[in-house]
Amino acid sequence: MTALQQHDGLVVDGLQINNWDRGLLEQLRTGGIDAVNATCAVWEGPEETLRAVGAWCQLAAQNPDLVVLADGVDEIRRARETGRVAVLLGFQNTSPFGDDYRMVEVFRRLGVQIAQLTYNIQNLVGGACYDPDDSGLTRFGRHVVSEMNRVGMMIDLSHVGNRTCRDGIDASAVPVSITHSNPTWFFDTPRNKPAEVICALADRGGVIGCCLYPNVLGGEHTTREQFCTMIARLVDEIGPDHVAVGSDCTQNWSESFVAWLRNGRWQPPEANPTPPTWPAWPQWFTGPADFPVLADGLDQAGLDEKTVRGVLGENWMRLFAEVLVPEVPR
């Protein structure tokens, strides 16, 4: 019996962006994952995203023994009770909302639980981590945040610019998330977050999901001990309730998908000085099925059982319980 199975909390992965099929859903069960934020839009606009949600509905209908598209914590718990994985549909961009704040409620009604404000480049909502200048949250962005609060959709700041992160934390009436980033003190890249952003997030009750994607982890040679020690230090810095995991697993894709993530439709492939390729993952964590090794690693990093439970899922559940709740219609 692994440490993961022993600790008896719900196991939640803050983000995966796989090319989903039955095999992957089985990997989640192998990994003991009870719920996952599954990205269903990155650059897609409203209509394209409707089709992506439709594809998820179909996959769930075809695999009712394995998966439930869950809305809120009660449905996540019910999924676990029936031995199924709860998938929380999520966006890594606000592009599915187009220029229309009303699309927030439309997609929430379709089951979308989480949306990241920007993905890599500036959009109508705010600035992003890979653009040189960050204008902060725009006026439209404030309407989007306010609608997300109202309809109970969790705000994610992972690929968001630091100034827009600060604005988003301040503008939101409820705590927000960074589903899949690490501190820059662990590995310095625009995709990771400086201490001031992480502290502001935690001060307001938010959660950061520490991330195993090699490009934000520091490469394939980063050890499990280094990763788990980072989590332990972060627990010391911001408290045990605000640290979690967002693996950013990217299973089952060809190379063309990483080019889509990097270039979208906004730059010609030839403008990208480094042709996109998938990075190699550390041998100790290559996909969702390896989730149990984290429990062992966190134990070895000296975290107590309650903290390990929080990091592996209960902290996400506490945040979900607080934010995935629609307000009474205004």
Which residues of this protein are in contact with a copy of itself, per CB under 8 A? 43, 45, 47, 95, 98-102, 121-124, 127, 131, 133-136, 138-140, 143, 264-268, 271
Contact 80, 41 (CB under 8 A): no
Q: Which is nearer to a copy of itself, 131 or 237 (CB)?
A: 131
| Shortest distance, position 263 Cβ to a copy of itself, whole Å | 10
Q: Which is nearer to a copy of itself, 20 or 119 (CB)?
A: 119
Task: Give the CA dihedral 228, 246, 83, 115, nearest 10 degrees.
Answer: 160
Q: Which is nearer to a copy of itself, 83 or 329 (CB)?
A: 329
**CA count, 13 A, side-chain hemisphere, 105:** 12
Q: Which is nearer to a copy of itself, 78 or 266 (CB)?
A: 266
Contact 160, 127 (CB under 8 A): yes
Residue 26 to residue 291: CA distance in whole angstroms? 13
| Shortest distance, position 144 Cβ to a copy of itself, whole Å | 9
Q: Which residues contact 171 (CB under 8 A, 6 or more apart)?
A: 137, 141, 142, 145, 146
Angle of helix 224-238 relative to helix 292-300, nearest 10 degrees? 70
Q: Which is nearer to a copy of itself, 1 or 265 (CB)?
A: 265
| Shortest distance, position 266 Cβ to a copy of itself, whole Å | 4
- CA neighbor of 156 nearest in space, from 174, 180, 139: 180
| Shortest distance, position 103 Cβ to a copy of itself, whole Å | 8
| Shortest distance, position 289 Cβ to a copy of itself, whole Å | 34
Residue 29 to residue 23: CA distance in whole angstroms? 10
Q: Which is nearer to a copy of itself, 58 or 267 (CB)?
A: 267
Q: Which is nearer to a copy of itself, 78 or 102 (CB)?
A: 102
Please name the residue that has the structure tokens 């003190």. 185
| Shortest distance, position 171 Cβ to a copy of itself, whole Å | 14
DSSP string spanning 121-153?
B--SS--BTTSS----S-HHHHHHHHHHHHHT-
Residue 315 to residue 4: CA distance in whole angstroms? 15
Quick one: how far is CA 241 from the chain centroid?
17
Q: Which is nearer to a copy of itself, 45 or 239 (CB)?
A: 45
Task: Give the CA dihedral 294, 261, 168, 206, nearest 10 degrees.
Answer: -10
| Shortest distance, position 128 Cβ to a copy of itself, whole Å | 9
Q: Give the angle subtended at the CA of 83 by the CAs of 23 and 61, to the nearest 5°.
A: 55
| Shortest distance, position 161 Cβ to a copy of itself, whole Å | 9
